[in-house]
Amino acid sequence: MKAILTLSVVCTCVALVGAQQSGTFSSSGGAGPLTRSVIATWAGQGSPTSGGVRIDVLVLWRGKPGWPERLGISGMGAGGSEHAHIVKRRGEDFLRLTVDPKTRQVRLGGQELPLGDGNVVLVDDADLPGAAHIVDVLRVDPVVTAERSGPTAEPVTALVKASSALFEFVRCAAESVDTTDAERQHWLALCREMEPRP
């Protein structure tokens, strides 16, 4: 059975998160898959297990189900001096989105949009070389306390659970044909955890 990637609260996949920079941007971050179609990178401040986290920018990267495994995605992360969200393939940058903390502009390839007061960037076609593009910028409550993140201490899961728009974007129902029973149960359990409550 293929190994199932899991959401990492502290970014260890790509060494981007360092000392806090000037302005309001990152001193912590995380990255990992949310569903078969979507991976997340986030940058913020604080710790999910110690007082909570304030999310500065969350990026959800969506492609066809199973794309991280199929393309050989080898790492992901967010933060650093360039406030970059990066997805790596075989050790090389495959996707790169940057945030200018002064102008609040986000850039992905040749696309540049104002972030405004938003803190979530939705990217589609992430699996297609050169085709990834920003489809929306949203704002959610950025503060995730230990109580809100629950026993898994995963702030992104809590953010998706609080937003029907984010839950719809992550395509919980999407599956790829090579999903094993164990993998399917894993993703279904994560989706149940993220599903907004009425």
Give CA separation, 100 vs 30, 90, 97, in Å.
Answer: 19, 27, 10
Strand partners, 124: 133
- Could you give the percent of the chain with pLDDT greater than 70? 79
pLDDT digits over 104-149, tens only?
999 999 999 999 999 999 999 999 989 999 999 999 999 888 776 6
What pLDDT was estimated at residue 12? 32
Find out whether 32 and 181 touch, Cβ atoms under 8 Å.
no
Instruction: Please state, as a whole number, how many other Cβ atoms lie within 10 Å of the Cβ of residue 60.
Output: 27
Lowest mean pLDDT among 24-38, 47-61, 154-168, 177-191: 24-38
* Stretch 168-179: mean pLDDT: 78
What pLDDT was estimated at residue 18? 33
Reported as a pLDDT band with limits 50, 70 and 90, residue 13 is very low
pLDDT digits over 23-64, tens only?
344 467 888 898 989 999 999 888 766 678 889 999 999 999
Say if residue 166's pLDDT is above 90: yes
Q: Give CA–CA dist 175/52, Å, rounded.
A: 32
Angle at 86 between CA 196 and CA 173, to 5 degrees: 30
Give CA separation, 106 vs 12, 96, 138, 144, in Å.
Answer: 23, 11, 13, 23
Predicted structure pTM score: 0.83
Decide: helix, strand or coil at residue 149: helix
Per-domain residue ranges for the chain? 28-192
* Stretch 174-198: mean pLDDT: 80
Find out whether 94 and 73 touch, Cβ atoms under 8 Å.
yes
* CB-facing half-sphere around the CA of 31: CA atoms within 13 A: 24
